[in-house]
Each structure stands twice: as structure tokens, then as C-alpha cells.
Structure 1
């Protein structure tokens, strides 16, 4: 039985999710679909992007779990929904007021976290310095990079805004889409 992994699209309407340089959700969804189209085990879920209000990560994880279970797509006995993030996001769990404490505790305890190392961050230290992360460290899977990789959406956007090449940082289809729609040029916030 092939495993199917859902790549959740973390985009919000520009009114609900206040992040500098955020483009309209339909562009983000289209780029994710282009980037994932050749994969047999990744799909794009645009549910969150289509909501009118900000959705907390716990709400999204719960929705994904119930969607697959309630629709009979995956037996709940075989379904494992986790939050996949970079170590920078994991570190933000411990910063006061960035996350609702009970939400991030529930995510760590009931769902689990797959954390991808970011260059220059000590994940073991991040975990050991936070009570909740330490308590649930068995539910945190750390993915170490064999070859350091600094690629991030922030880096790609920055390169594009400075008119630098992003060849090999993302798929050619995504690069063509960005050029066609003039996204991220000159750090301009795109309007709907």
C-alpha cells in the first residue's frame, strides 16, 4: 500500500494572515500544485487557503485528520498526521505570545512534529530549553541534513526581488509561473 502524504498549503487571505509580502492564495496554491504534480505521494490541500479567517495549525491538523478518516480515505489506525516544520518554527513554539501554549502542547502530544534542521540552529538545545518540547520530545522527529541546505521560500523570494536566478531552487514550472505573474518582483506586495 502506497503512503500518501498531504502537503498542506499554508496560505491565508491577505486580510487574515498578516505577513509581509504575502501574495494572494491562488498563486501559492498554483505554485504548490506545479511543484508537486510529478509526485505520486504528495498532494496539495487548499482548504486553509480558502478560509476567510486565520486558521490555527491545530485546527488545520485536526481538519486533515478528520477529512481522511471521515471520508474513508485512510483508516484511522494507519493515519498519522504531523506538523512538518523547520527548526526556526519549532524554536518559535517557546517564544511567549507567538503560539497559544495549549495549542502547541496538543500538537506536540497528540500529533507530533517532524522538524527539519535549519543551518546554525541547535535543535537539541531548542527542545531542552522548553518544558513542553522536553516533555513531548519522543513525539518530535528531527531530520538532520546530510548536506546543509539553506533553501527556503524566504530565500527564493529574496533572490527574485533582487533579480537573481532561482534556477535549481524550485522547479522550472514554478519559476515560469512566478515570471508570468510577476510575483515577488521588487519586494512589492501583490494585491488581488
Structure 2
């Protein structure tokens, strides 16, 4: 029997690009093709305003843009739990929150005491699995840059890295010329849990990034086909990233 998983992506999504959504599609195709996993849903969790990254627009705008980008998507959901916390939250806490609530929902009797309004991020088909003793694993979906950031001294707490990789696992989207396997080999911790790290090669190269999108918007250059049209409209309407409000 295939292991049911939910893919969770954390990040700024500043703004959300088509590549952010493509990561979910690439990962799901790979996991289904391998035959060991069944992807039952995806979650996008934008970072808290307290993260303090340069050019980070308010979570209100980022949540609205993600919701707009996901319009018509039948399996990836927005979770605003992270941005509603009092301060910045670690990736480990985000994974554990969603993991705990998914399995509490599955194992609750008639879903008593479950606040449906707080769980809008829950996959639509999760109710079909109520009572399933197998449970669901929430895995962190990320790019190779996040995996490599584990090697940056002081950036991640050791116990957080071990919990993320050991208890949840990673699905890493990498370029066709990347070599994350070597990075894993050079890390004792990652090698210990290498069975929990799924490397997915993105063969159709796409260099779209939020940084490049923001630069293009500042320069009044077109970003059509790089992010959703309605997200472009939202950015111009609110004058985000230095975009011209009159360019509608």
C-alpha cells in the first residue's frame, strides 16, 4: 500500500510565481511514478512578516496573491496559520502543526471539536480517510538551495534539522545539472536520514524567481506568463514592488 503524503512548501512567495506551483506538480508526478507514495494534497505556507527579509511585502498581500494564484487549483491549498502567529515560526513547528492537525482530524470521532474554519488548508479528500490508522505524513517540499542551507553554520538548529528530515522528510526539486547527492554524502546527519530525502530532477529548466520578478516589475518590464495574470493585476492595483499602479 502506498504511503499517503501531503507536500508542504514554506517560503516568502513574494510574489508567488508559476514555478512555485510547478514544484508541486513535478513532485507529485515523481512520487506517483515511483509507486511508494500517494500525494493527497499540497499546502503553501507563506512566512510571517517578522521574518524581516528585504522587500518582503505584508502577509496580507502575499496571502491574497497566493489565494489568487491558486484559483482553480483542486489539490494545493493556502495555509495562513504561520502568518497569524505572534512572531516568526520555525519550519519544524510549521510541519509539526500541520502534521498533528491532519492526523488528529483523521482519528477524531466524527471530527468532534475540530474547528473547520481554521483548517481550510486541509485537502478536500481528507475526509475519505477518516479512521485510517495509517495516518498521513507531511513532507517539506523545497528547492536544492534549502537543502544546501543546512550546511550554513548557525542557520538551522541541529535538533530542528534532525526533526525535519528524520520525522517528516524532504522532497527536493533540483536542476538537471545539480548534485544534491554529493551534499547529502558530505553531511553525517543527512546521510543518516537519506532514505527520507527524495531528490526530484526538474528536467524542463525554469529560471523564474521572485527576485527576478520584483526586478522586472521595478523596471516596468513584462512578467506575463511568469506569474498568474490575476496576480499581476493585483500587484499593479496595489503598487507592489515598485510597479506602476496605472499599468493595468
Same fold by TM-score greater than 0.5? yes
Structure 1 residue runs of 5 or longer lacking an equivalent are 187-192
Per the alignment, do residues 180 and 118 of structure 1 end up closer, same or farther by CA in structure 2, a change over 3 Å counting? farther
Partner of 1:53, secondary structure, is coil
Decide which structure has greater strand share.
Answer: 2
What pairs up with 1:31-180 in 2 under 5 angstroms?
31-72=65-106, 73=126, 75=132, 77-118=134-175, 121-180=178-237
Offset at 1:91? Answer: 0.4
Offset at 1:119? Answer: 6.9
In 2, Cα distance between equivalents of 1:3 and 1:119: 23
Which structure is larger by alpha-carbon Rg, 1 or 2?
Answer: 2
The answer to whether structure 1 residue 7 and structure 2 residue 64 are counterparts is: no
Decide which structure has greater helix share.
Answer: 2
Structure 2 residue runs of 5 or longer lacking an equivalent are 5-37, 107-125, 244-248
- The answer to whether the 8 A contact 2:176-2:203 is kept is no
Per the alignment, do residues 51 and 118 of structure 1 end up closer, same or farther by CA in structure 2, a change over 3 Å counting? farther
In 1, Cα distance between equivalents of 2:189 and 2:215: 34
Deviations 1:100-132 (A, max 9, x none): 111011111110001111476421222122111
- The answer to whether the 8 A contact 2:103-2:135 is kept is no
What TM-score comes out, normalization by structure 1 length?
A: 0.88
RMSD: 2.0
- The answer to whether the 8 A contact 1:114-1:141 is kept is yes
What TM-score comes out, normalization by structure 2 length?
A: 0.69
- The answer to whether the 8 A contact 1:87-1:116 is kept is yes
Moved over 6 A (4+): none
Count of residues in correspondence between the two structures: 184
In 1, Cα distance between equivalents of 2:140 and 2:241: 27
Deviations 1:4-56 (A, max 9, x none): 4232322212xx21211111001111111111121111110100011121100
